[in-house]
Chain A
Amino acid sequence: DQQVKQNSPSLSVQEGRISILNCDYTNSMFDYFLWYKKYPAEGPTFLISISSIKDKNEDGRFTVFLNKSAKHLSLHIVPSQPGDSAVYFCAAIALYSGGGADGLTFGKGTHLIIQP
């Protein structure tokens, strides 16, 4: 059963407008949520993260919102630029009480296409 779900395989947005990518999760034990961006033939690169005790984190054009009661998070990109065209992965992690952790659990990804 998928613990992290990205239900939109693709999203097309006009340049300059807002891009909103959504992610749902089922595991209430997740402590952090992260967004990764991936270009073809490259490894994923870290974009932004949010702790489960926060509801918003902002970094330049990127803002992540977390709604714990709904087990939902979203990534907002404003304004969208052509270089933002990529696959975006939502990921989550649950930390052990001793501070260790397993690896990140990823969603299937959303392919964002920014149209000129």
Chain B
Amino acid sequence: DAGITQSPRHKVTETGTPVTLRCHQTENHRYMYWYRQDPGHGLRLIHYSYGVKDTDKGEVSDGYSVSRSKTEDFLLTLESATSSQTSVYFCAISETPGQAFEAFFGQGTRLTVV
């Protein structure tokens, strides 16, 4: 299994509070991603990073920010959590796109905003 660790694995937070999810990799992969999975929507890209301090928005980036100060860590921050951000969040990593571009996923973080 690819070395990807997400923390925390579960979190319950109140509306309006800031929340930070962490993704840590030991594979030295260049690309890192944050996805959210919701019923009826599959997986949707929130933000991604193509190098240290290089990030870009995905399909559903509103309300989220990211930071990548080291190759191994990619943080996802909900500035002010809302109930619509209740979801399962997955981090993924990949090498520079090449022959197949497999992305390897973490175990997920279940976030509940009450």
Chain A interface residues (CB < 8 Å from chain B): 6, 32, 34, 36, 41-46, 49, 51, 89, 91, 93, 95, 99-109
CA distance A83 to B90 in the complex (A): 23
Is B41 an interface residue, CB under 8 A from the partner?
A: yes
- The A-B contact count (CB < 8 A) is 72
Roughly how many angstroms separate A46 CA and B92 CA in the complex, as a whole number?
11
Q: Which residue from chain B places its CB closest to the CB of A48 in the assembled complex?
A: B100
Tell me the complex Cα distance, A44–B106, Å.
8
Name A102's contact: one of B41, B45, B92 (CB within 8 Å): B45
* B35, A107: Cβ atoms closer than 8 Å: no
Render B83-114 as a binary contact track against A, CB cut-off 8 A, 1 for contact. Answer: 00000001010001101111111111000000
With A34-B102, A45-B105 as contacts: A103 and B41 at CB distance below 8 Å:
no
Residues of B at the A interface (CB closer than 8 Å) are 4, 33, 35, 40-45, 48, 50, 56, 58-59, 90, 92, 96-97, 99-108
Which 8 pairs from chain A and chain B are nearest by CB? A43-B105, A108-B42, A103-B45, A46-B102, A106-B43, A106-B42, A101-B97, A49-B100
Measured CB to CB, the nearest residue on chain A to B47 is A103
Q: Are B90 and A95 in contact (CB under 8 A)?
A: no
> Smallest CB-CB separation from B50: which chain A residue?
A100
- Report the Cα distance A6→B101, complex, angstroms: 21
Q: How far is the CB of B90 from chain A (nearest CB, A)?
A: 6
Given A41-B107, A105-B59, A106-B35, 9 new contacts (CB under 8 A): A43-B105, A44-B105, A89-B42, A91-B43, A93-B97, A95-B97, A102-B48, A106-B44, A108-B42
Name which residue of chain B comes closest to A108, CB basis: B42
CA distance A44 to B102 in the complex (A): 11
Contact B102 A42 (CB under 8 A): no
| Distance between A114 CB and nearest chain B CB, rounded to angstroms | 21
A108-B41 contact, Cβ under 8 Å, with A44-B105, A49-B102: yes
Which residues in B have their C-beta under 8 angstroms from that of A34?
A: 100-102
Q: Select which of A43, A101, A105, A107 is within 8 A of B107 by beta carbon.
A: A43
